[in-house]
Amino acid sequence: MSYNNILIKLYDEWMNNNDWWFSKKESIDIYLSNKYIKYIDDINQYDVIKTNDKKTIIGYIILLDQITRHNNRIKKIDVNYYTSIACVVSFHYLNILKQNNNISISPSVLTAYDKCFLYMPHRHMKDIEMIIDIIDIFKNYYFESYKTNNIEDAKIYKSYLFNTIKNSYNFISTDILKKQIDDFKFYSYENSDIFTEFKDILDNCPKEVLETNPDIIKDPLLHNFDINPYKNIIVSLSGGVDSMLCLYILKHYLCNTNIIAAHINYNNRDKCDEEVKFLKKYCDCLKIPFIYRKIDELNRQECINYGLREMYESITKDIRFDFYKQITDKYFNDIDNTFIVLGHNKDDCFENILTNINYKKNYNNLSGMSIHTKINTINFWRPLLEIDKETIYNYAKKFNIPYLCDSTPKWSMRGIIRDIVKPAMLEISPNIINTFFDLKDKIQADDYLIKEYIIKDIKNKFINVDKTMSITLNLDNPFIKMHDNIILCKNIWYDILNSDNNKKISHKAIYDFVVCINKFINNKTNNKKKFILRNDVYSEMNIIGNDIKIIIIN
Q: What would the pLDDT profile of 4-56 be if each residue is shown by its tens digit? A: 999 999 999 999 999 999 888 999 999 999 999 999 999 998 899 889 899 99
- What lies within 8 Å, CB to CB, of 314 at 6+ separation is none
Residue 363's closest CA among 510, 467, 466? 510
Report the pLDDT value the prediction gives residue 213, as an integer from 0 to 100. 60
Q: How far apart are CA 350 and CA 52, in angstroms?
A: 63
Report the pLDDT value the prediction gives residue 437, as an integer from 0 to 100. 94
Report the pLDDT value the prediction gives residue 1, as an integer from 0 to 100. 60
Question: What is the secondary structure of 484-547 as a DSSP string?
Answer: GSHHHHHHHHHHHHHHS-SSPPPHHHHHHHHHHHHHHHH-TT--EEEEEEETTEEEEEEEETTE
Q: What is the pLDDT of residues 468-502, one digit of tens each?
A: 899 999 999 888 888 888 888 888 898 888 876 66
Asked if residue 527 has pLDDT above 80, the reply is no
Under 8 Å between Cβ of 47 and 20: no
Exposed/middle/buried for 73, CB within 10 Å: 0-12, 13-18, 19+?
middle
> Where does the pLDDT of residue 212 fall: very low under 50, low under 70, confident under 90, or very high at 90 and above?
low
> Where does the pLDDT of residue 256 fall: very low under 50, low under 70, confident under 90, or very high at 90 and above?
low
Q: What is the pLDDT of residues 378-425, one digit of tens each?
A: 999 999 999 999 999 999 998 889 999 998 888 889 999 999 999 999
Q: How far apart are CA 135 and CA 123, in angstroms?
A: 10
Question: Measured between alpha carbons, how far is residue 520 from residues 482, 548, 550 in Å?
Answer: 14, 10, 11
Report the pLDDT value the prediction gives residue 226, as an integer from 0 to 100. 75
> Where does the pLDDT of residue 328 fall: very low under 50, low under 70, confident under 90, or very high at 90 and above?
very high
Beta partners for residue 463, in sequence order: 470
The fraction of the chain above a pLDDT of 70, given in percent, is 94
Asked if residue 434 has pLDDT above 50, the reply is yes
Report the pLDDT value the prediction gives residue 501, as an integer from 0 to 100. 64
Q: Which domains does the chain have, with CATH numbers?
A: 3-125 (no CATH), 194-409 (3.40.50.620), 444-553 (no CATH)
Asked if residue 143 has pLDDT above 50, the reply is yes
Asked if residue 359 has pLDDT above 90, the reply is no
Report the pLDDT value the prediction gives residue 401, as an integer from 0 to 100. 93
> Where does the pLDDT of residue 552 fall: very low under 50, low under 70, confident under 90, or very high at 90 and above?
very high
Asked if residue 219 has pLDDT above 80, the reply is no
Question: Average pLDDT of 284-297?
Answer: 95
Question: Measured between alpha carbons, how far is residue 494 from residues 287, 418, 428, 449, 499 in Å?
Answer: 47, 31, 36, 16, 8
Report the pLDDT value the prediction gives residue 204, as an integer from 0 to 100. 93
Asked if residue 139 has pLDDT above 90, the reply is yes
Amino acid present at 272:
C
> Where does the pLDDT of residue 218 fall: very low under 50, low under 70, confident under 90, or very high at 90 and above?
low
Asked if residue 458 has pLDDT above 90, the reply is no
Question: What is the secondary structure of 237-273 as a DSSP string?
Answer: --SSHHHHHHHHHHHHHSTTSEEEEEEEE---STTHH
Asked if residue 319 has pLDDT above 80, the reply is yes
Beta partners for residue 551, in sequence order: 470, 540
Residues in the chain: 554
Question: What is the secondary structure of 25-49 as a DSSP string?
Answer: -HHHHHHHHHHHGGGTTTS-HHHHH
Report the pLDDT value the prediction gives residue 105, as an integer from 0 to 100. 46
Q: How far apart are CA 257 and CA 535, in angstroms?
A: 48
pTM score: 0.83
Q: Which residue has the higher pLDDT, 208 or 350?
A: 350
Question: Average pLDDT of 445-466?
Answer: 85
Report the pLDDT value the prediction gives residue 528, as an integer from 0 to 100. 84
Q: What is the pLDDT of residues 185-195, one digit of tens each?
A: 888 887 667 88
Asked if residue 254 has pLDDT above 80, the reply is no
Residue 62's closest CA among 3, 116, 138? 116
Q: What is the mean pLDDT of the chain?
A: 90
Under 8 Å between Cβ of 142 and 151: no
Asked if residue 287 has pLDDT above 60, the reply is yes
Question: Average pLDDT of 317-333?
Answer: 95
Report the pLDDT value the prediction gives residue 418, as an integer from 0 to 100. 94
> Where does the pLDDT of residue 467 fall: very low under 50, low under 70, confident under 90, or very high at 90 and above?
confident
Question: Average pLDDT of 346-356?
Answer: 94
